[in-house]
Structure 1
Amino acid sequence: MTKQTKNQPRNVATKLIESHLVAGKLKAGEEIGLKIDQTLTQDATGTLVMLELEAMGLDQARTELSAQYVDHNLLQTDHRNPDDHLFLRSACEKFGIWFSPAGSGVSHPVHMERFGKPGKTLLGSDSHTCAAGSLGMLAMGAGGLSVATAICGEPFYLNMPRVMGVKLTGRLPEWVSAKDVILEMLRRHGVKGGAGKIIEYYGPGLKGLSAMDRHVIANMGQEMGHTATVFPADDAVREFLGQQQREDDFQRLEADPGATYDLHDEIDLSKLEPLIALPSSPGKVFPVREVAGEPIYQAYIGSSANPGLRDFAVPAMMVKGRQVHEGVSFDINPTSRQVLENLVELGHLTDLLNAGARLHQTGCNGCIGMGQAPATNQISLRTVPRNFAGRSGTSEDKVCLCSPETATASALTGVITDPRDLEMDYPVFDEHSTFYVQDRNIRPPAQHPELSVVEKGPNISTLPTFDGLPDSLEAPVLLKVGDDISTDDILPAGSEILPFRSNIPVISEFTYTRLDSTYPERAKQHQDSGSLIVGGENYGQGSSREHAALAPRYLGVRVVIAKSYSRIHWQNLCSFGVLPLRFVAPESYDSIEQNDDLALPGLVEALKSGDKIVAENARTGERHELTHDLSERQIRMIIAGGLLNMMRQEMAA
Structure 2
Amino acid sequence: MPSLDSLKTLKTLTVENREYHYYSLTEAARSLGDLQRLPMSLKVLLENLLRWEDGKTVTGQDLHALAEWLQQRRSDREIQYRPARVLMQDFTGVPAVVDLAAMRAAMAKAGGDPQRINPLSPVDLVIDHSVMVDRYATAQAFGENVDIEMQRNGERYAFLRWGQNAFDNFSVVPPGTGICHQVNLEYLGRTVWTREEDGRTYAFPDTLVGTDSHTTMINGLGVLGWGVGGIEAEAAMLGQPVSMLIPEVIGFKLTGKLREGITATDLVLTVTQMLRKKGVVGKFVEFYGDGLAQLPLADRATIANMAPEYGATCGFFPVDDVTLDYLRLSGRPAATVQLVEAYCKAQGLWREAGQEPVFTDTLALDMDEVEASLAGPKRPQDRVALSQVAQAFNNFIGLQLKVSTKEVGRLESEGGGGVAVGNADQAGEIEYEHEGANHLLKDGAVVIAAITSCTNTSNPSVMMAAGLVAKKAVEKGLQRKPWVKTSLAPGSKVVTDYYKAAGLTPYLDALGFDLVGYGCTTCIGNSGPLAEPIEKAITQADLTVASVLSGNRNFEGRVHPLVKTNWLASPPLVVAYALAGSVRVDLSSEALGLGKDGKPVYLRDIWPSQQEIAEAVAKVDTAMFHKEYAEVFAGDAQWQAIEVPQAATYVWQEDSTYIQHPPFFDDITGPLPVIEDIHGARILALLGDSVTTDHISPAGNIKADSPAGRYLRDKGVEPRDFNSYGSRRGNHEVMMRGTFANIRIRNEMLGGEEGGNTVHVPSAEKLAIYDAAMRYKAEGTPLVVIAGQEYGTGSSRDWAAKGTNLLGVKAVLAESFERIHRSNLVGMGVLPLQFAEGQTRKTLGLTGHERIDILGLSQTQVQPRMTLTLHITREDASTQQIQVLCRIDTLNEVEYFKAGGILHYVLRQLIAS
Length-normalised TM-score, structure 1: 0.93
Match of 2:94 in 1: 47
Q: 1:31-430 alignment to 2 at 5 Å?
A: 31-54=78-101, 55=103, 57=114, 58=116, 60-63=118-121, 65-75=122-132, 76=148, 81-95=153-167, 96-118=169-191, 119-190=205-276, 193-246=279-332, 247-250=334-337, 251-252=340-341, 253-255=349-351, 257-292=355-390, 295-308=445-458, 309-321=460-472, 322=474, 323-327=478-482, 328-372=484-528, 376=538, 377-416=544-583, 417-418=587-588, 421-424=603-606, 425-426=608-609, 427-430=612-615
Q: Which residue in the other structure is 2:661 paired with? A: 462
Q: Contact 2:788 / 2:840 at 8 angstroms: preserved in 1?
A: no
Contact kept in structure 1, 2:866 and 2:886, CA below 8 Å: no
Q: Contact 1:307 / 1:335 at 8 angstroms: preserved in 2?
A: yes
Larger Rg: 2
Displacement after TM superposition at 1:550 (Å): 0.2
Change beyond 3 A, Cα 1:70–1:535: same
CA displacement at 1:585 relative to structure 2: 3.9
Distance in 2, matches of 1:66 and 1:432, equals 34
The match for 2:883 among 625, 628, 642 is 625
1:612 to 863, 867, 889: 867
Report the alpha carbon displacement of residue 576 of structure 1 after superposing the two structures with TM: 0.4
Matched AA of 1:307: T
SS, match of residue 879 in structure 2: coil
Structure 1 distance, partners of 2:578, 2:151, is 36
Q: Secondary structure at the match of 1:313?
A: helix
Taking the aligned partners of 2:863 and 2:645, their CA distance within structure 1 comes to 43
8 Å contact kept, 1:183–1:275? yes
Give the gaps of 5 or more residues in structure 2.
1-28, 53-57, 67-73, 105-113, 133-147, 192-204, 342-348, 392-443, 539-543, 590-601, 668-672, 702-723, 746-755, 758-767
Matching of residue 650 in structure 1 with residue 912 in structure 2: no
- Matched residue, 2:734: 506
TM-superposed CA distance for 1:410, in Å, is 2.5
1:398-418 CA-partner distances (Å, limit 9, x unpaired): 111111232223333334424
3-state DSSP of counterpart to 2:306:
helix
2: distance between equivalents of 1:601 and 1:31?
26
Aligned residue identity for 2:560: G
CA–CA distance in structure 2, aligned partners of residues 77 and 99 of structure 1: 17
Decide whether the 8 Å contact of 1:87 with 1:456 is kept in 2: no
Number of aligned residue pairs: 648
Residue 525 of structure 1 corresponds to: 775
1:97–1:297 Cα change, 3 Å: same
* C-alpha contact (below 8 Å) 2:481/2:578 kept by paired residues: no
Q: 1:443 aligns with which of 616, 633, 637?
A: 633
Q: Is the 8 A contact 2:286 2:316 kept in 1?
A: yes
Q: Which AA in structure 2 matches 1:301?
A: I
Query: Does residue 638 in structure 1 map to residue 710 in structure 2?
Result: no
The corresponding residue for 2:824 is 572
- 2:453–2:523 Cα contact (<8 Å) kept: yes
Cα distance in structure 2, aligned partners of 1:636 and 1:66 = 25
Contact 2:211/2:227, CA 8 A, preserved across alignment = yes
When residues 86 and 109 of structure 1 are mapped into structure 2, their CA distance, relative to the original with a 3 A threshold, is same
Residues 455, 183 of structure 1: alpha-carbon distance in 2 compared, 3 angstrom cutoff: farther
| CA deviation vs aligned residue, 1:242-287 (integer Å, no higher than 9, x gap) | 1122043331433574421111011100111011111111121121
Paired residues of 2:243 and 2:890 also in contact (CA < 8 A): no
Cα distance in 1, alignment partners of residues 790 and 77 from structure 2: 20
Partner of 1:14: 42
Aligned partners of 1:389 and 1:395 also within 8 Å: no
Which of 59, 75, 92 aligns to 1:28? It is 75
Alpha carbons of 1:621 and 1:145: their partners in 2 closer, same or farther (altered >3 Å)?
A: same
User: Does the 8 A contact of 2:208 with 2:225 survive in 1?
Assistant: yes
Pick closer, same or farther for the CA change 1:628–1:243 going to 2, 3 Å: same
CA distance in 1, matches of 2:631, 2:38: 40
Q: Distance in 1 between matches of 2:789 and 2:773?
A: 23
Match among 698, 704, 716 for residue 492 of structure 1: 698
Secondary structure of the residue aligned to 1:109 is helix
Q: Classify 1:395/1:411 alpha carbon distance in 2 versus 1 (closer, same or farther; 3 Å).
A: closer
- Residues 93 and 631 of structure 1: is their aligned pair in 2 closer, same or farther, counting only changes over 3 Å? same
State whether residues 10 and 260 of structure 1, in contact with CA within 8 Å, keep that contact through their aligned partners in structure 2. Answer: yes
SS at match of 2:895: helix
Taking a change above 3 Å as real, the CA distance of residues 80 and 352 of structure 1, as seen in their structure-2 partners, is closer
Cα distance in 2, alignment partners of residues 428 and 444 from structure 1: 34
Deviation larger for 403-412 or 544-553: 403-412
Counterpart of 2:613 in structure 1: which amino acid?
Answer: V
Q: Distance in 1 between matches of 2:505 and 2:791?
A: 41
**Residues 319 and 412 of structure 1 are in contact (CA less than 8 Å); yes or no, is this contact kept in structure 2?**
no
What whole-Å deviation, never above 9, does each CA across 1:417-443 have from its counterpart, x for those lacking one?
Answer: 249951244242343441323323422
The answer on whether the counterparts of 1:191 and 1:223 sit within 8 Å (CA) in structure 2 is no
User: 1:545 maps to which residue?
Assistant: 797
Deviation at 1:131, TM superposition (A): 0.6
- State the distance in 1 between where 2:261 and 2:576 align: 10
Q: Whole-Å Cα distance in 2 between the matches of residues 529 and 394 of structure 1?
A: 33
Structure 2 counterpart of 1:348, which letter? L
For 2:336, the aligned partner's letter is D
Q: Secondary structure at the match of 1:390?
A: coil
| Counterpart residue type for residue 289 of structure 1 | S
TM-score (norm 2): 0.67
**Quick one: distance in 1 between partners of 2:861 and 2:847?**
25
Q: Letter of the aligned partner of 2:835 in structure 1?
A: F
1:261 match: secondary structure: coil
Give the counterpart letter for 1:526 in structure 2.
Y
CA, structure 1 residues 354+361, in 2 after alignment: closer, same or farther (shift >3 Å)? same
- 1:131-152, CA deviations, whole angstroms, 9 ceiling, x for partnerless residues? 1001001111001121112222
Gaps of 5+ in 1: none
Q: Is the 8 A contact 1:469 1:641 kept in 2?
A: no
Given that residues 94 and 730 in structure 2 are in contact (C-alpha distance below 8 angstroms), is that contact kept between their aligned partners in structure 1? yes
- Range with bigger deviation, 177-186 or 266-275: 177-186
Matches of 1:441 and 1:523, distance apart in 2: 48
1:606–1:618 Cα change, 3 Å? farther
CA distance in structure 2 between the aligned counterparts of 1:261 and 1:179, rounded to whole angstroms: 26
The offset of 1:373, in angstroms, is 5.5
Mapped to 2, the partners of 1:78 and 1:320 lie a distance apart of 33
For 1:305 and 1:79, the matched residues in 2 are separated by 28
The residue type paired with residue 219 of structure 1 is N
Q: Aligned with 1:477: secondary structure?
A: strand
Q: Report what 1:562 is aligned to.
A: 814
Helix, strand or coil at the partner of 2:215:
helix
**In the aligned structure 2, how far is the partner of 1:463 from the partner of 1:330?**
39
| 2:465 and 2:572 in contact (8 A); partners too | yes
